Chains A and B, each alone.
Chain A
């Protein structure tokens, strides 16, 4: 395998001259170089903007440390940091617990109707995040049906206040359940049943075997996922802004956003300083996670023997698990989607009441199919999603495999691919705007520029997905192929990729769905003729055309569901062939 052949002969004298520098495999060096080209320019932009005053014309002024100073001395920083930690941790816990339980039920039990969970998860991933949040607020808000119901029963007004920390955690956490479910089900699906069977033969109860072996083997994947959600929540904006600020709960993103926007002329100094601090925090977390991965061989479950997972017969309990799935389906998918569909037929939304039913019409759909927004941006959006996913997934699959095989220097790949996750999207958008507008290549304002930016943005998601999958493949198979004379490239293409295929197809879908939903990143990059759907949706929201937005959201959801259903069928079929 060439990837294990460490350094080429020509680089040896140089390395000999620098004995303390660890050797890097040439393949890793090439990948690191590609990543550096993509990531360093926005990182430098962030660093520079955090260390200089921004002048009224947007240029950088004199050097200053005041943004870092105000970060630590400002009266909002510490309370915001505290709130952010609670919010991120809480959301990660909710998402992991619910998503993992759901994945276990679907992948490892004979619960009736379990395959519908995929459909449900994908359907809810198709709902634009801002609509999802609004739908939850409509449901749990002051005038929502739940408060009305409680008030009716208890005769006390204002029973629940969703504009609180628990409200934020609940909405954000549940929002991540579909993602967690998809990632964890990929992990559980590729687990070798023989480990559990061995435990049962050795005298463990099925429950204990399940708990200690199955969940135990999922630990690295769960940790990787928890970190992904933690970081993603750390920099999330919609829920903190819609839910948190209304309850006077500040988190870092809302504090920073306010400082960037309050005076009209944008000033991104504090946001830059904040991002740099966040990068440092995440680097520490990654080092910790890499230590965990050093023992990765303990979790490798895909061997040369075949790996059909064992399905547990729950007996009569399977109806309980089915009820649990149904409940999740209801809360994660049906209710937000139903509110959206309901709103899409109205001239304005004023809560769920009988009068609203009398006002229903197809007007919003008529506008939708008229000239303009929807039709203009749909092709661009599909190209954006497909291109981003097609760039990100194979690239991160290769990176993840090298990291898991601990090829020299590959740890750098892990760090570099995680970095874009901590660039707040709004800042990454400004950074790429400045990069593209100053480039000699005519990329500025084109769809290609958005594809490049979102490929960088979603590297981390592809990486986490592929990493969790690659972690489970034992090196024996590759070793045997290499011994039989296969080259590194053909081992990767003919052994690793097919084994990773179910994971990668899911990863493709995920990156596709995430990149077509992003708003802050393409907002500044789109030009006339390169409009994308999510930005159009955001504009409708900004202009108060909520009901039009809902109708566009419904169509969008249907389209995404169709795309996802095709992929789901492909995953299943592929699995049959493995």
Chain B
């Protein structure tokens, strides 16, 4: 019968397709790329990278950076410099990048060659997914920002602070210290991002690291009575938008440069640093089993270079290289320029403290 014959033909096609697909995966899995190039420091590194990248012909970048302002210009500039590499990117939050990267590694079907985001490097280290790598560009980055194990590289800086609506809070009366936040006049008027590890948990971690457990706890017990609103829909950037819209007078623990970007467009918002200012780097990692290590290294070099950092600066990120100037509009929130004490929270510290800090937030503020 025609229908049955057609069915079996389809089944054959399907079976052949599956077999071919299995073969492809098996071949891909068998061709485990040579990762020794990642730590190679010889004088012919550049030539070897280019030769290898020409063979690979592609690189896939997972990143938490903003698409139109950062990822597109980065891709254009990188492909202009290395026209033989096709660069593709996928944008997501760090948690989603981690979920996807780990699923790919476990299935031995790695698509990502290089991943970047806040906290992504240390998450990958903890999961045993990061590979040691070296770049000559590391010399241009201050040592305290770098990972001594070279398992992740810093890409951009984040400084955390407070945003306030200038129509609702006159600049003269805005809180300037952690102690000022305890003033009863701010009761019920402050909000912080809840559902991200760089939100309320980092606020608590910063205090624990700078004041010690007991003093931090005593302060947080007092802060508890201020009835801080927990903001759960979206990340710290969306919270700044709610402040601009006048929903909340004051937002704590937001990326301090975000209010300045909006204020530059005329929005009624300002940033305030509360010393000591928590800072944390965005990090990148080359995951184990990367299929295009040469192209990944070229991209890593590019991101850490003056050229790459300048593209990030133009996308309103803060650079990790001292020889690259941040945009004048957001430079005032860099603690060293503002003359304010900074607490650089290393990715290791961030990771080891977050769980306990999240518990404190849950206990005292929910």
Q: A44-62: which have CB < 8 Å to B?
A: 55-59
Q: A436-461: which have CB < 8 Å to B?
A: 437-438, 440-442, 444-445
A241 sits at the interface (CB 8 A): yes
B21 sits at the interface (CB 8 A): yes
Task: State A367–B267 Cα separation when bound (angstroms).
Answer: 20
| Interface size classification for chain B | 35 or more
CB of B232 within 8 A of CB of A241, answer: yes
Task: State A244–B231 Cα separation when bound (angstroms).
Answer: 9
CB of B238 within 8 A of CB of A245, answer: no
CB of B102 within 8 A of CB of A348, answer: no
Which of B22, B194, B246 is in CB contact (< 8 Å) with A258?
A: B194
Mark each residue of chain B from 116 to 142: 1 if its CB lies under 8 Å from any CB of chain A, else 0.
000100010011110000000000000
Interface with A: B154-162, B195-203, B207-215, B334-342, which one? B195-203
Task: State A217–B17 Cα separation when bound (angstroms).
Answer: 51
Interface size on A, residues (CB 8 A): 61
CB of A142 within 8 A of CB of B246, answer: yes
CB of B123 within 8 A of CB of A56, answer: yes
Q: Report if A57-B106 is in contact (Cβ < 8 Å); known contacts: A137-B247, A141-B247, A542-B237.
A: yes
Which of A238, A263, A348 is in CB contact (< 8 Å) with B355?
A: A263
CB of B127 within 8 A of CB of A372, answer: no
| Contacting residues, chain A, for B91 (C-beta < 8 A) | 539
Task: State A372–B70 Cα separation when bound (angstroms).
Answer: 12
Interface with A: B93-101, B172-180, B300-308, which one? B93-101
| Contacting residues, chain A, for B105 (C-beta < 8 A) | 57
Interface with A: B1-9, B60-68, B145-153, B217-225, which one? B60-68
Q: Report if A529-B127 is in contact (Cβ < 8 Å); known contacts: A58-B99, A350-B244.
A: no
B235 sits at the interface (CB 8 A): yes
CB of A263 within 8 A of CB of B354, answer: yes
| Contacting residues, chain A, for B12 (C-beta < 8 A) | none
| Contacting residues, chain A, for B109 (C-beta < 8 A) | 437-438, 444
CB distance from B285 to the nearest CB of A (A): 13
Which of A57, A59, A371, A527 is in CB contact (< 8 Å) with B111?
A: A527
Which of B60, B201, B229, B232 is in CB contact (< 8 Å) with A254?
A: B232
B234 sits at the interface (CB 8 A): yes
Q: In the complex, which residue of chain B has the Cβ closest to the Cβ of A442? A: B21
The CB with the most chain A CB atoms within 10 A, among B66, B100, B351, B362, is that of B100
A492 sits at the interface (CB 8 A): no
CB of B232 within 8 A of CB of A434, answer: no
CB of B241 within 8 A of CB of A349, answer: yes
CB of B262 within 8 A of CB of A246, answer: no
CB of A440 within 8 A of CB of B18, answer: yes
The CB with the most chain A CB atoms within 10 A, among B60, B197, B201, B245, is that of B245
A499 sits at the interface (CB 8 A): no
Which of B17, B67, B90, B237 is in CB contact (< 8 Å) with A372?
A: B67
CB of B229 within 8 A of CB of A543, answer: no
CB distance from A164 to the nearest CB of B (A): 13
CB distance from B214 to the nearest CB of A (A): 23
Q: Report if A543-B237 is in contact (Cβ < 8 Å); known contacts: A262-B195, A438-B107, A440-B18.
A: yes
CB of B235 within 8 A of CB of A542, answer: yes
B183 sits at the interface (CB 8 A): no
Q: In the complex, which residue of chain A has the Cβ closest to the Cβ of B200? A: A262
B41 sits at the interface (CB 8 A): no
B314 sits at the interface (CB 8 A): no
Q: Report if A58-B106 is in contact (Cβ < 8 Å); known contacts: A250-B366, A367-B68.
A: yes
| Contacting residues, chain A, for B237 (C-beta < 8 A) | 542-544
CB of A350 within 8 A of CB of B88, answer: no
CB of B201 within 8 A of CB of A246, answer: no
Mark each residue of chain A from 340 to 372: 1 if its CB lies under 8 Å from any CB of chain B, else 0.
000000011111000000010000000100011
A138 sits at the interface (CB 8 A): yes
CB of A543 within 8 A of CB of B66, answer: yes
B343 sits at the interface (CB 8 A): no
Q: In the complex, which residue of chain B has the Cβ closest to the Cβ of A548? A: B68
B349 sits at the interface (CB 8 A): no
Q: Report if A444-B99 is in contact (Cβ < 8 Å); known contacts: A348-B265, A546-B241.
A: no
CB of A262 within 8 A of CB of B197, answer: yes
B266 sits at the interface (CB 8 A): yes
CB distance from A137 to the nearest CB of B (A): 7
CB of B233 within 8 A of CB of A350, answer: no
| Contacting residues, chain A, for B66 (C-beta < 8 A) | 543
B79 sits at the interface (CB 8 A): no
CB of B99 within 8 A of CB of A57, answer: no
| Contacting residues, chain A, for B284 (C-beta < 8 A) | none
| Contact sample, A vs B, 24 pairs, CB 8 Å cutoff | A55-B127, A57-B128, A143-B245, A143-B246, A143-B247, A245-B230, A245-B231, A248-B230, A254-B232, A264-B94, A264-B98, A266-B98, A347-B265, A351-B245, A372-B67, A434-B107, A437-B109, A438-B107, A445-B111, A523-B96, A528-B89, A541-B234, A542-B238, A544-B237
The 3 closest A-B pairs by CB, nearest first: A143-B246, A58-B102, A245-B232
Given contacts A241-B195, A242-B233, A266-B95, 19 further A-B contacts (CB under 8 A): A56-B127, A57-B102, A137-B247, A138-B245, A141-B246, A240-B232, A242-B232, A244-B232, A246-B233, A248-B229, A248-B366, A265-B127, A348-B266, A373-B67, A440-B18, A524-B92, A524-B100, A527-B90, A528-B89
B residues with a Cβ closer than 8 A to A are 17-18, 21-22, 24-25, 60, 66-68, 72, 88-96, 98-100, 102-107, 109, 111, 119, 123, 126-129, 167, 191, 194-197, 201, 229-235, 237-238, 240-241, 244-248, 258, 262, 265-268, 350-351, 354-355, 358, 362, 366
